Structure 1
């Protein structure tokens, strides 16, 4: 009973509560459907790609294997709290002056650690925390993969829209070049005008290669995310216009900042690492206290083959380990473990702050891109009107080619900016839900298993 009083209790985690803001600084978008967030794009192709990625992505597969490994190690640590029994047997030949004779013996060897120091319990808590961390990281990998697939798909559709816009722009400039050429042949304009129009057309066509590179890169990135070799992925055609950027409707509510503590896999993994650090302190503290092990054995035989079952011996004992002097090593290890515990607490809070910053940045981006979209739509409309008027005045000789080409450039730039803004807005919604939710759009499972 006196020795049992030396057993340590579990080292509690330090105060890990984070004072999360009640609301985000920026306004939240309207909530709508309660499904997985990417379904708010209403794009069956994207839904299919994400489903394939979540089932075939290699990083998710590796994370799942690490969960299995952590679960096995947890079972191993739990097994250390139970008695162990091993069998032993020997057979041999002895030769002396009296001749040669066979020898044999066997029995059972057992051992039971009463865990007076609390070390075994702390090791179980450490393994449980590492298992929880692996499980949370697996879910976080699903979150990251879903967001990456959605973002790359938007980039793929962006390049498709850019190719369509490039075709429209080149056709517009071809028409201008034909008009300028006819006027030059009629002696109504200079050869310089023809060269300027041809140069603008060539400059626009030169963008084709860059768009094709970007399109290939996004397609190859999607292939890797789906666990396939780049160049082998076949992306089905979009249901709507291929040149359109996916529009994000109303998706699941993201909740308040405190939800990040229950949804974000990386934040929960940081909390699990904090629990593991607390368990490590318990392990180091256990080395400062006595430990008691109860060994036992059952031996059969007297050493000869003839007397294999002629004798039986059972023993039971107790081995007490009392730490007396180690030059301060054990206490130094406790201090080191406590310092690591403090570091894990800081990393946990840092993980939350980074997640909160991601959500806030996405909210600000959504608001900014929405406002910018209205201005860009107005700029595009005005540029179209300006180009139409410039062409009319040029045909009448009341405007120069410079005015026409300048109006064309403004229109092309406005259309490109509007296209990019729509893609950036879609990516901002992806970033918001990636920051605020798990891959399945809901909260993670319960507390760390112990």
Structure 2
């Protein structure tokens, strides 16, 4: 065999290889444009001069705005040890490896090869009674060889066989390369890279969700502890009222009805601490798991009550809707769309021929010393092409499937964008409404505290009934509890707003 036909084929293939560096079938991806409002609808009702500070864009540690060192410590622990985050990091490593595999497919694969092959050939002497091979002579049953690495065995019996055994040693390299003329491999690399980027954004989304969940559970914990304290203080006051009422009844200054009413109210209030204690325990357990630890691991840190974290007033007025592009879930959805687009190109490439080259180069000899001396060498080049002539429409169905997947992913991306807008609008609505509700409840608590003092004075003078005192007591307890719940809800709504906007901003200092 001469090299001329092989060289002719390779030279003919070179232009296609060069063109293949620029050609990639299938659609080129361009991010879709989505219409976004100029401002959030909930900000339209928030005029100037309402005591709110405007938001400034910044990639800040927003949880630090609550000025709570324990919350900061919990966030640090969660970022270091949360197991959902560990899983997301592992998925990124997997995707990075897949991207490396896709990149490697563009290049030849080169292997080091080596072998030792032993073969035997037999020659039948039908009538002379003698046989010879490799320089040996028959008749004695002895063996000989004509060269290194070969032996001959013969006999002097008529019809005997002569067997020649040869060992051949080879060592060299072989390479295979699928030439990516139509860009299928490059589209696969493009898809793998987009998938890697999607997983990186998924890691960021997991991190943001974790931050919000830690903050929300911490707010709920401190609110439950505060409400537990309110319940215990009211219960203590009501139990004292029961004792006073019993003494007044013993002295004939009040009725048995007043005693029964006081006892009933105290018993009703006494039912709240067990429920609130369970809520406190559940919040502590949840925070333990969120920080990657056993549920009971944070009891010593979190069981001592602390006030609810400080609150900074904010307003989303002036924030452009484009800030939503900071949301990692939207960035992930966009990268998934890019991967789906590249998948179409990879499927389209399957409609075209595939070209490959297999080449080998090495040394061979009948002993290792022959190889070391470069006495004999070999080479081979095997070009190949394959193109399915008939597959019952399998390749075209694969293209249709990838196009349908792209349409599904595009719809999911648009849906995610609308959901993101909804999240922001809902968070703003909740924050503004809860801000007003908290103000009303604070005024309610102040009014009921004044009414409680006046009722005690009037009851002591016999100017009102004991039932009036109990009614005001119950109303005050309910208002205090509602105010505590509102304080927590306001903080949780602020956390939700941070999360809805992607967490990439901070509130200017000020009070709301």
| TM > 0.5 fold call | yes
Does residue 172 in structure 1 map to residue 237 in structure 2? yes
Over 3 Å counting, the alpha-carbon distance change for 1:432 and 1:134 in structure 2 is same
Residue among 308, 312, 332 paired with 1:249 = 312
Residue among 357, 360, 363 paired with 1:297 = 360
The corresponding residue for 1:446 is none
Residue among 66, 72, 75 paired with 2:100 = 75
The corresponding residue for 2:183 is 118
Does residue 314 in structure 1 map to residue 379 in structure 2? yes
* Aligned 8 A contact 2:25 2:184 in 1: no
Mean CA deviation greater in 280-289 or 74-83: 74-83
Residue among 86, 91, 96 paired with 1:66 = 91
Residue among 155, 160, 166 paired with 2:220 = 155
CA distance in 1, matches of 2:277, 2:470: 26
The corresponding residue for 1:231 is 296
Over 3 Å counting, the alpha-carbon distance change for 1:410 and 1:260 in structure 2 is same
Does residue 12 in structure 1 map to residue 76 in structure 2? no
SS of 2:182's equivalent in the other structure is: coil
The corresponding residue for 1:90 is 115
Over 3 Å counting, the alpha-carbon distance change for 1:251 and 1:296 in structure 2 is farther
Structure 1 residue 250 displacement after superposition: 4.9
CA distance in 2, matches of 1:100, 1:293: 37
Does residue 287 in structure 1 map to residue 310 in structure 2? no
Residue among 48, 68, 78 paired with 2:73 = 48
Structure 1 residue 305 displacement after superposition: 6.1
The corresponding residue for 1:445 is none
Give the length in aligned residue pairs: 438
The TM-score, its normalising length taken from structure 1, stands at 0.91
Can you give the 5+ residue segments of structure 2 that lack an aligned partner in the other structure? Answer: 1-14, 47-51, 122-161, 507-512
* Aligned 8 A contact 2:24 2:187 in 1: no
Deviations 1:18-61 (A, max 9, x none): 11111111128624675311111111111111122112111111
CA distance in 1, matches of 2:440, 2:313: 22
* Aligned 8 A contact 2:354 2:387 in 1: yes
Mean CA deviation greater in 245-254 or 53-62: 245-254
Residue among 324, 333, 336 paired with 2:398 = 333
Mean CA deviation greater in 83-92 or 420-429: 83-92
Does residue 23 in structure 1 map to residue 23 in structure 2? no
The corresponding residue for 2:143 is none
CA distance in 1, matches of 2:251, 2:208: 64
The TM-score, its normalising length taken from structure 2, stands at 0.80
CA-based RMSD:
2.4
CA distance in 1, matches of 2:412, 2:474: 50
CA distance in 1, matches of 2:369, 2:76: 70
The corresponding residue for 1:132 is 197
Instruction: Specify the structure having the higher radius of gyration (Cα).
Output: 2
Structure 1 residue 194 displacement after superposition: 1.1
CA distance in 2, matches of 1:46, 1:431: 16
CA distance in 1, matches of 2:31, 2:98: 28
CA distance in 1, matches of 2:216, 2:319: 22
